[in-house]
Amino acid sequence: MKILVCISKTPDTTAKIAFTDNNTKFNEAGVQFIINPYDEWYALVRALELKETLGATVHLITAGGADTEPIIRKALALGGDEAFRINTDSQDSYFIAAQIAAHAKQQDYDLILTGKETIDYNGSAIGGMVAELLDQPFISIAAKLELNGTEATVNREIEGGEEILKVTLPLVVSCQKGMAEARIPNMRGIMAARTKTLTVVGPIAADTLTAIASFELPAPKAGVKMISADNVEELVKLLHEEAKVF
């Protein structure tokens, strides 16, 4: 069995967000980057669990420049077998999905796993696009995945309950909380990652369907107003006129 895990580079959740070039680019100066948590904690770790129980081969793929290589090396240290980096700086979801799909067509994967979304763009688009380009089934926001031969059983949360699906491989799944438990790389994995294959490939020709017009930070939070416990009328007025709670 061959599994492909899609890996994205995202800012650490504690990073201070700022923009440059007239608010059209994210300012990366001084920012610590990590593997997108949904990709690492759920998609990658579940793939590694399947590797341990079923003897699967786990490949990793990311799209980006040379600065993404520390991220993909960490994924290799966790237990991935081989990695591929598509050398592009595009942020367009369709363009990236087309690159992943083109690679997947050459490798004949049984299962492709992504995180449900990235924590920077929150697009939730890549998995569905890859599935469409490969003409394969797609199951989103999955919380559990089990394999029995060529059949997958996938649990996903729905409004007010849970949905259990059975589908024949090949399959694309986006993963969320519940799929697996986070791991940290050990020294043996870190040392092994240095010699594992990381192949850099050029992008194929594909359409770019979106462009970033601008970024905008949320409005700053207003300061706290202290109201005396005896001044109920003022509190009611502020709740009504400013907080708009009733």
Please name each of the domains of the chain with its CATH number.
2-216 (3.40.50.620)
With pLDDT > 90 as the criterion, what percentage of the chain qualifies?
69
- In this predicted structure, the answer to whether residue 153 has a pLDDT above a threshold of 90 is yes
> Do 39 and 7 touch, CB atoms closer than 8 A?
yes
> Do 209 and 94 touch, CB atoms closer than 8 A?
yes
Q: How far apart are the first and last CA of the chain?
A: 57
Range scoring the smallest mean pLDDT among 15-19, 93-97, 187-191: 187-191
Average pLDDT over residues 187-201: 88
pTM of the model: 0.86
